[in-house]
């Protein structure tokens, strides 16, 4: 176990958030919502949270955090649905309603959900399937790619926004008990930052279409990553367990790559 150095943990969280949000928004500029959603839907905040908790506390603590992780992410998928649901609404109203729903749903999960991984997994599959079905019926049209000239300054501020949000979420996860940490490890840090940045650059409808590819990739990769991490951490430790958890979901990632082509 490495020393519990708070500044180092904070820097790692910020750097990971900066990298992912800067990449997602740059890919959105160059290739559109489908490919950007694929990048942003892969496990990132959850993986960093588990790494930091495992390195600073113990492998057992990281394994315990995975208990509610699947159910927490199903609430985060519902956050995407709530953001996309209104056909006519400004960004501020969309994100406020979606975040309030996420906070309330996550609070209820942390307060009432049993400390039972099987319950979390089954509940996650049920809620995620329902959310995905409803999202497919609300008429979110694929937004056309808008050619955008690359700007280093724009990429830097977008990344800084994501880095700050992810650092805050990961810090809360690391300082909380395992149930609260599991909920916050599923927080929509990357997604909310990316939705804000793309709505400013391409408009609300573009960011609304991004929710579909986030959801497609997230459902088939993030939940399986949490399941793989739960068992691989105990067998291989945090670092090797994380690596092999990513390898374990690579077939699902290839499926998501093909699924988000449009």
Task: Taking residues 233-246, report their average pLDDT.
Answer: 94
Note the pLDDT of residue 214: 94
Higher pLDDT, 6 or 95: 95
How sure is the predictor about 144, in pLDDT bands with cuts at 50, 70 and 90?
Answer: confident
Helices marked H in 113-236 — which ranges?
117-137, 152-175, 178-184, 189-202, 204-236
Q: Which of 244, 240, 229, 258 is nearest to 63 (CA)?
A: 229
Q: Which of 4, 58, 12 is nearest to 169 (CA)?
A: 12
Return d(Cα 98, Cα 70) in angstroms, integer: 19
Return d(Cα 214, Cα 77) in angstroms, integer: 9
- The tens digit of pLDDT for each residue in 145-194 reads 777 777 788 888 888 888 888 888 777 777 777 677 777 888 888 899 99
Q: Report domain extents, the chain.
A: 6-138+150-259
- Predicted TM-score (pTM) of this structure: 0.90
């Amino acid at each position: 176990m490495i020393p519990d150095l708070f500044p180092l943990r904070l820097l790692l969280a910020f750097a990971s958030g900066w990298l992912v949000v800067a990449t997602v928004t740059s890919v959105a500029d160059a290739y559109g919502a489908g490919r950007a959603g694929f990048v942003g839907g892969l496990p990132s905040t959850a993986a960093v949270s588990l790494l930091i908790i495992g390195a600073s506390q113990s492998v057992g603590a990281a394994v315990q955090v995975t208990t509610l992780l699947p159910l927490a992410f199903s609430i985060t998928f519902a956050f995407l649905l709530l953001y996309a649901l209104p056909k006519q609404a400004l960004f501020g109203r969309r994100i406020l309603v979606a975040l309030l729903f996420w906070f309330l749903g996550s609070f209820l999960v942390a307060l009432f959900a049993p400390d039972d991984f099987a319950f979390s997994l089954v509940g996650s599959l049920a809620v995620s399937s329902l959310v995905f079905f409803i999202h497919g019926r609300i008429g979110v049209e694929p937004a056309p790619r808008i050619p955008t000239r690359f700007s280093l300054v724009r990429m830097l501020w977008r990344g800084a926004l994501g880095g700050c949000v992810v650092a805050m979420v990961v810090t809360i996860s690391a300082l909380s008990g395992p149930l609260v940490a599991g909920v916050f490890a599923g927080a929509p840090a990357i997604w909310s930052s990316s939705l804000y940045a793309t709505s400013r650059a391409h408009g609300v409808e573009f960011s609304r279409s991004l929710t579909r590819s986030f959801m497609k990739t997230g459902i088939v990769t993030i939940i399986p990553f949490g399941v793989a991490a739960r068992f691989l951490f105990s067998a291989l430790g945090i670092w090797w367990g994380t690596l092999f958890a990513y390898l374990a979901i690579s077939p699902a990632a290839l499926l998501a790559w093909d699924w988000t082509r449009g």
